[in-house]
Structure 1
């Protein structure tokens, strides 16, 4: 019986190998050519001669509660944990969507794009010296499906099989065809050491037990207020092209500050090295910060194209009767005076998001192109005529006083929808007043929402702001217990993987996804499928531009600002490479954090 099983196993592996011989490459992108050739020596945004040594201390708002590395399990990963465990692939920071090998040294996609072959680097090792093998990948895949409530439906939606060929090679079979979004999942796929865990153990269980890793750092100390990492001297991947010039600090420490005011004060005292300022008021006051240390305080910004769309928008809950009429949604959109709040509250630092894909080639511009018309014309009887005849735009005020012209247009739209003013109150034909709650979990948002509520009051609308705690917010979002909700609708560029989750009818019901507004539109569903299924970026771009128009003219959200540039201050102890081309990654967030290309500069310390 055992011999028969071995025979069937050998026959299966033979069929895997003979079905199509993989042609392995060093990297992959389905939407553009790779910038880096197979013989590249290092990323251009990293300095391969950067010295190793010194320390870096950063702040974080995330509590130290979990070293398993899993999201959606009740506690997010500890800050910086990604440094302890290598992924199969990394994204380059100076390309839109290109992957290069880390744990893997080869990737091959079959000609029918249904089979993805992955080959592991023979040098890859865990910190205990045991080689990383496909057994670890299979173990991690099975663990995700068994123990992670969010991972199983996602993986099952596109992975047909996950088959090991030998210790270094495996093949993933797709239920349809691989897209760039599927490939990007390989940059976040967590690989756990099979030999480290016992049978039935859950490697993704929330735990403060320090796990065995494979990355450039290991955890050396932690408590609820800090975690410290130390560089692994014999790290197996130190000299890989994707790592040269990166991971330069001997020690990296994260200190927890739950309050931004406390964190700013700690930074001013020199208790940590770099601070990302997200409040524009403090950014403009940063030049007045006293510097008790002899080290210079530097201030800089970076434009990042990795995140596109609407950093913040107000979502209309179309499940509520009053918002089922598009004219009502448009009226309230016109009532928001972006220019006034930008001038008065934001130092004119914000740019309005007039697209769901702002800051990208996917944004709709002007009138529909011929290519867009080919997609939209078959649905012309389901689409507002102005989608074809008008370029989308919103009122632009002077930024001073009340925008009476926009409010008059809003008042007329409300009247057309059957709402009338009686004794300064807006009411329907049955005399029911127009009331609404605007919900947010962000205390800072009161500054921009209260003026909007005042404008709604001019229209006779009884609007109120409801500030929730985090636990309440989760329940309110899941059950859609709001009229309007301040939400982040920004996406990793390119956004195809997220479109269905945010805008499709499939996720319109409460508790199913991020389509908080309850958008149900067959045209939207068609364009999402078109954008997601094609591997051709030009075709996907046209579909996204058409989708953008349909969503904008649907007035499902009030668009506020585009994603902001990074604003940061740091003490001048460090060397930095030229990262001007690395516009697709953030300094301390993302997958290829640019802070990992900095180094401690002894000459600056001794000269000050």
Structure 2
């Protein structure tokens, strides 16, 4: 027995300051700051930002109820660890000064910093960490239950030491995603209703607190001058503004004019037309406003027309494939977007994770066991979204669409596409919350009409849109599915069969495919970076050939404009710009 105990002591993992998903983290123990920040950035000034939405009614970003105020999760709450923006996925101690995990990552222990404090002065303890985990996975947004599903037990081993035991799993990402856990004050929430998503400012632990707000219209954060973590390497040179204010606008055109009038300081432009035509005037000519396109290397993910396959009209993949032939990207890019965009061809676009061509080598080995459950096209036809380049263009595409619809049991009667036998028309509604997007959707609607398909366009306010998304109350939407450079547990929320009926999940399309489930598990269990790449590409191929979305476009740069009293660091990390690294001229 004594020998066994001694062996366990020898085998115990040593505390470490950081951890990488694969390999070793970039930054050494005791590093002074991230390479992409200015450690000498001055503190002070106000950063004024805009949100285009119909207001907010909650200061709780962790539940499915209500619409939380912008910035709450970022500024009020610290996490156990902090991820760097210039690595695929590495994390370094924030609330936790170190972590311990064995080679197989079958558990993780976090050792908390003795100086870590909530904003009311109370210390952050292991009890707070356990309380937070149990609160989020029982009363929080459903995504937390999926995200942390492989945690079997949380054990408080001391006032500042907490251990997470894992189920029988090869999920090597768990220590890192547990490091993303925001820590909430147990002494506060034990006396407040967590499900009551009201506007009582909560107690946080982060670099800012709520200074004032006007319900649904604006919120202002003030920097915590005695913030406990201000001199840590993961915080040095960051969170430099004394105050950060968000004002809400219900219309993006009004917001753009407000920016040009100097009512707020920074704008990330999403409209190619605006970028090409609206950023003009004396303030741009004299340099008062800086206009830049700043390159990045983060995965673009998938932006597209997303089908809700829970709806009978989209249950047949041949129908979903057919409708893609009615979207003319080349026309839209030339006539609406000033040729600024590239066509998206992957759910992991703009990264090495994106599939291309036919599966070969290791990718083919991963897919081969599922051959009998997959469409043969996964193995024989490289995925390519329809293009109107070449002779006949859209006319050729519409003919292909018609052939696919006929194979799915549809026919034309009196100019309408109907189901043979029942006469039920092929019709659906697309749900939008940005009126400006109607100029993209209406040409698509006209092309569908040439096939006898009736698409209704409905634009609702942002709050109603959010609620309908959470309840999957739509036929089709326009949505961006963002991805990281190190996909892992969050893929369950996108694609797992069990998330298809989980209100609030990001499985908007209602994907229910046992092969996809198994491929997601393989992604989560990837033992090294190269194997992760192969497994993600295999997953990408199966999703693309499921025709769950009509891919739209992406841009490998951020279009930004800002008033010249703002200053940004000289280095931009691969994840792109982060305003929390900027500062104001003194």
Q: What's 1:595 paired with?
A: 579
Within the alignment, does 1:562 sit opposite 2:554 as a pair?
A: yes
Partner of 1:491, secondary structure, is coil
Of the structure 1 ranges 151-160 and 446-455, higher mean CA displacement relative to structure 2 is found in: 151-160
Report the Cα distance in structure 2 between the residues aligned to 1:81 and 1:515, rounded to whole angstroms: 22
Report the Cα distance in structure 2 between the residues aligned to 1:418 and 1:208, rounded to whole angstroms: 53
Q: 1:370 to 1:292 in 2, by over 3 A?
A: closer
Deviations 1:95-133 (A, max 9, x none): 111111111110121233211010112222233443322
Pairing of 1:450-529 with structure 2 (within 5 A): 450-470=442-462, 473=465, 477=469, 482-509=474-501, 511=503, 513-529=505-521
Asked if the contact 1:58–1:272 (Cα under 8 Å) also holds between the matched residues in 2, the reply is yes
Aligned length: 578
TM-aligned CA deviation for residue 184 of structure 1:
4.4
Asked if the contact 1:577–1:597 (Cα under 8 Å) also holds between the matched residues in 2, the reply is yes
Asked if the contact 1:576–1:599 (Cα under 8 Å) also holds between the matched residues in 2, the reply is yes
Within the alignment, does 1:255 sit opposite 2:247 as a pair?
A: yes
Partner residue of 1:76 out of 59, 68, 71: 68
Partner residue of 1:23 out of 14, 17, 30: 14
Within the alignment, does 1:356 sit opposite 2:347 as a pair?
A: yes
Q: 1:316 to 1:171 in 2, by over 3 A?
A: closer
Asked if the contact 1:307–1:563 (Cα under 8 Å) also holds between the matched residues in 2, the reply is no
Within the alignment, does 1:66 sit opposite 2:58 as a pair?
A: yes
List runs of 5+ in structure 1 lacking aligned partners: 1-13, 588-593, 603-608
Deviations 1:391-428 (A, max 9, x none): 22233224999621212222222333343334433334
List runs of 5+ in structure 2 lacking aligned partners: none
Q: What's 2:407 paired with?
A: 416
Deviations 1:576-605 (A, max 9, x none): 21233x1225x4xxxxxx212222223xxx
TM-aligned CA deviation for residue 78 of structure 1:
4.2
Within the alignment, does 1:39 sit opposite 2:30 as a pair?
A: yes
Deviations 1:471-508 (A, max 9, x none): 65466556655543333333333333233333333334
TM-aligned CA deviation for residue 138 of structure 1:
2.5
Q: What's 1:590 paired with?
A: none
Q: What's 1:605 paired with?
A: none
Pairing of 1:289-438 with structure 2 (within 5 A): 289-291=281-283, 296-315=288-307, 317=309, 319-320=311-312, 322-398=313-389, 403-430=394-421, 432=423, 434-438=425-429
Within the alignment, does 1:227 sit opposite 2:211 as a pair?
A: no
Q: What's 1:49 paired with?
A: 40
TM-aligned CA deviation for residue 256 of structure 1:
2.4
Report the Cα distance in structure 2 between the residues aligned to 1:66 and 1:325, rounded to whole angstroms: 39
Q: What's 1:273 paired with?
A: 265
Partner of 1:211, secondary structure, is coil
TM-aligned CA deviation for residue 155 of structure 1:
6.6
Report the Cα distance in structure 2 between the residues aligned to 1:468 and 1:207, rounded to whole angstroms: 24
Report the Cα distance in structure 2 between the residues aligned to 1:166 and 1:147, rounded to whole angstroms: 25
Task: Give 1 or 2 for the bigger CA radius of gyration.
Answer: 1
TM-aligned CA deviation for residue 268 of structure 1:
1.6
TM-aligned CA deviation for residue 48 of structure 1:
1.1
Q: 1:598 to 1:370 in 2, by over 3 A?
A: same
Q: 1:167 to 1:292 in 2, by over 3 A?
A: same
Q: 1:413 to 1:567 in 2, by over 3 A?
A: same
Moved over 6 A (4+): 292-295
Asked if the contact 1:337–1:452 (Cα under 8 Å) also holds between the matched residues in 2, the reply is yes
